[in-house]
Amino acid sequence: MATISRMPIFLFIFVILIFMSQSNAQPSFLFHFCIDSNGNYTANSTYQNNLNTLLSNLSSNTQIDYGFYNFSYGQDSDKVNAIGLCRGDVKPVDCRSCLNDSRVLLTQLCPNQKEAIGWYDHCMLRYSNRSIFNRMETSPGFTMHNRENNVTNVEQFNEVLRKLLDSLISSASSGNSQRKFAAANATGPGFQTIYGLVQCTPDLSELDCNSCLVGAMPQIPICCDSKKGGRVIRPSCNFRYEVYRFYDPNNVAMPQAPAPAPTVVALHPSSTDSLSAKAENGVEIRSNETLQLDFTAIMAATNNFSDANKLGQGGFGSVYKGRLSNGQEVAVKRLSGNSMQGDMEFKNEVLLVAKLQHRNLVKLLGFCLERKERILVYEFVPNKSLDFLIFDQTKRAQLNWERRYKIIGGIARGLLYLHEDSRLRIIHRDLKASNILLDAEMNPKISDFGMARLFEIDQTQGNTSRIVGTYGYMAPEYVIHGQFSAKSDVFSFGVLVLEILSGQKICGVRQGDNIEDLLTCAWRKWREGAATSIVDPTITDGSRNEIMRCIHIALLCVQENVSDRPNMASVVLMLNSYSVTLPLPSQPAFFIDSRSLSVIQSEEYDQEETRSGESNFQSA
């Protein structure tokens, strides 16, 4: 029905359909898009085989009973990702049959395209070679309206409809990771019942689901003004309303009572479909407005930035714990210091940083730009930061080797994502134990990434006069010459790994009467063949080989010569595969000597950031 050839066109396609009657014996797609911009596959190619395998697996899955499938199959460039979503009231058996029909039809209608999407009444199926999970996508989309009858009392009808959809949107958004769906009825003018249904793919966050649906609302006057039925349908969310019952009320869990007050997360959708903006590289950028939060809402969430809510103070400002009116706990970072950046640039940077989503990164949920305030709102990560555990004599016993190893692996993957997988190629520049937060399952999440972007510090590899970092973790070339690169993060990672292994801070390891820095100590012991003696004695589990390998990898990361250090991709590989032979490390950079120390002090660097282990947010 529609083939989209270039990304920029694909962005703004919004097709308007008219549907006549809901009885349709021979089901066909409501609509579909074959998307050319992601390339074609050839007949009998690996990609095609993977696609077929994946789609038959997906549509025959009997384990999932909540109507959402996010599966992928294949390797590297032949990897296929697919999402199947059934309307929330559709029974599992009907869901499978709808997805099976979609599978057959969509691959026929789009015989070459690597990416395609199609909708039936009861389900949506989409696939692509790019990653499509856990992200809000608002196009390609389309709208439909019922042309049979016009509404007589339009104003009243719209008022009831708006309230109905508002309450459905808030209850669907707050659904769980299996189901973000709500349906209900309301009484319109002349005692006519209006039925509404809204749904998001449940892999979206609450905020994304809300943004997607709220962003779709302005389509109603355009597509469906004074019509008795309408739908707005997007890849990540859709809604529909009618004056007849079109869903099965027996499979609709009661929507939760709508919030009495409007949600604190005040979104400001613009009147046009601002949500469909995308950067030219195809990364979806959420609208500059959808992540924007009200200052009053932030005040309310943090008790007016009360001291009781304060979690910590970092180099870029204070951090407060907050609770939005919808109950969500957040960490609110009130930025201090003056960035030279204009508001527009700040917004753009926030939107880019918010696109960085990885399970080992703290998620940026929104921002506020009002009354000269610049505020960032993050997900709240409950288990404090790593420094609270590893440097605490008693608490560190909670961290056995298995946990520490998992934390090291998670940090490595998060950092790899920042360096290579995220398209933005972010250099963290201040990786340290207090910037690693732990969630309830003790998964590590890197915080404070992207701050250099937000403070308009030059981004690309190069020289900088403003050094942002923490003494002890900073690579010597960065401290002394202001030269930074992904390899300076690798250095900090190596330091961090040694700290995790030893439970000692970088700057002070007691060796008899002497205080030696951790790198010097680790290197000396390594040379003496006694490397395991630096390991925290509370670690009693774990294989000696695995621990030795981690020390070895850490020493590779802290080598003085930048080009000798591995990149994060190699680090992740070395951590995961024992068949990779590790090169011998050369001497690490020792920078605790008077020569470099005097250089450090003459550099312009941020005082607040220079003491390790205490400046952190979310760690009260």
Ligand X SMILES: *[C@@H]1O[C@H](CO)[C@@H](O)[C@H](O)[C@H]1NC(C)=O
Round to whole Å and give the CA distance between 125 and 172.
20
* Residue closer to ligand X (CB basis): 385 or 559: 385
Does 606 contact ligand X by CB under 6 A? Answer: no
Of 344 and 597, the one with the shorter C-beta distance to ligand X is: 344
Q: Using the rule CB under 6 A, is 339 a contact of ligand X?
A: no
Is 43 a binding residue for ligand X by CB under 6 A? The answer is yes
173 binds ligand X (CB under 6 A): no
CB of 381 to ligand X, least distance (A): 9
Distance between CA 52 and CA 450 in Å, rounded? 39
- Decide if residue 586 touches ligand X (CB under 6 A): no
341 counts as binding ligand X under rule CB under 6 A: no
Looking at this protein, which amino acid is placed at residue 85? Answer: L
> What's 261's DSSP letter?
S
Please state, in angstroms and rounded to a whole number, the distance separating the CA atoms of residues 578 and 405. 14
Q: Is 319 left (phi over 0), alpha (psi -120 to 50) or beta?
A: beta
Instruction: Report if residue 483 touches ligand X, rule: CB under 6 A.
Output: yes
Query: Per rule CB under 6 A, is residue 130 in the interface with ligand X?
Result: yes
Q: Tell which one of 156, 177, 336, 561 touches ligand X (CB under 6 A).
A: 177
CA distance 533 to 264: 53
- Residue 255 or 315: the one with the smaller Cβ distance to ligand X is 255
Tell which residue, 264, 450, 209, 205, has the closest CA to residue 350.
450
Q: Rounded to the nearest whole angstrom, what is the least distance from the CB of residue 150 to ligand X in the complex?
A: 4
Q: Which of residues 136-165 bind ligand X (CB under 6 A)?
A: 149-150
- Which residue from 245, 423, 510, 527 is in contact with ligand X, where contact means CB under 6 A? 245
Question: In 3-state terms, the chain is what percent helix, strand and coil (to 5)?
Answer: 35, 20, 40
Closer residue to ligand X (CB): 303 or 313 = 303
Binds ligand X by CB under 6 A, chosen from 22, 304, 336, 586: 304
DSSP state for residue 154 in the 8-state scheme? H
Which positions from 371 through 430 interact with ligand X, judged by CB under 6 A? 382-383, 398
Shortest distance, position 618 Cβ to ligand X, whole Å: 12
Q: Does 64 bind ligand X (CB under 6 A)?
A: no
Nearest-approach distance from CB 26 to ligand X, in angstroms: 13
Given 430, 448, 517, 536, the catalytic residue: 430
355 is in an annotated binding site: no
Q: Which residues 6+ apart lie within 8 Å of 304 measured at CB?
A: none
**Residue 430 is among the residues annotated as catalytic for this protein:** yes
**504 part of the interface to ligand X, by CB under 6 A:** no
By the rule CB under 6 A, 464 interacts with ligand X:
no
In the bound state with ligand X, the residue whose beta carbon lies nearer, of 2 and 442, is 442
- Judged by beta carbon, residue 68 or residue 473, the one nearer ligand X is 68
**Residue reference for tokens 């005082």:** 607
Chain centroid to CA 596: 39
What residues pair up with 19 in beta bridges, in sequence order? Answer: 146
SS3 337: coil
Q: How far is the CB of 490 from ligand X (least distance, A)?
A: 18
The distance of closest approach from Cβ of residue 196 to ligand X in the complex, given in angstroms and rounded to an integer, is 11
Secondary structure (DSSP) of 111-145 = SSEEEEEEE-SSEEEEEESS--TT-----SEEEEE
Give the residue with the Cβ less far from ligand X, 170 or 518.
170
Nearer to ligand X, 15 or 299 (CB): 299
Q: Give the nearest distance from C-beta 128 to ligand X in angstroms.
A: 8
Closest CA to 1 of 19, 12, 15: 15
Q: Given candidates 49, 52, 134, 339, which one binds ligand X under the rule CB under 6 A?
A: 134
- Intra-chain end-to-end CA distance of the chain, in Å: 56
DSSP assignment, residue 588? B
616 contacts 312 by C-beta, under 8 angstroms? yes
Q: Which residue is nearest to ligand X (CB)?
A: 39
Distance between CA 10 and CA 276 in Å, rounded? 10
496 backbone dihedrals φ, ψ, rounded to 5°: -60, -40
> What distance in Å separates the CA atoms of residue 133 and residue 558, rounded to the nearest whole number?
35
* 134 contacts 174 by C-beta, under 8 angstroms: no
Binding residue positions for ATP: 333
List the catalytic residues: 430
Contact positions vs ligand X (CB under 6 A): 36, 38-40, 43-44, 57, 60, 68, 70, 77, 97, 100, 104, 111-112, 114, 129-130, 133-134, 149-150, 177-178, 184-185, 193, 202-203, 226, 245, 288-289, 299, 303-304, 382-383, 398, 440, 442, 462-463, 481, 483
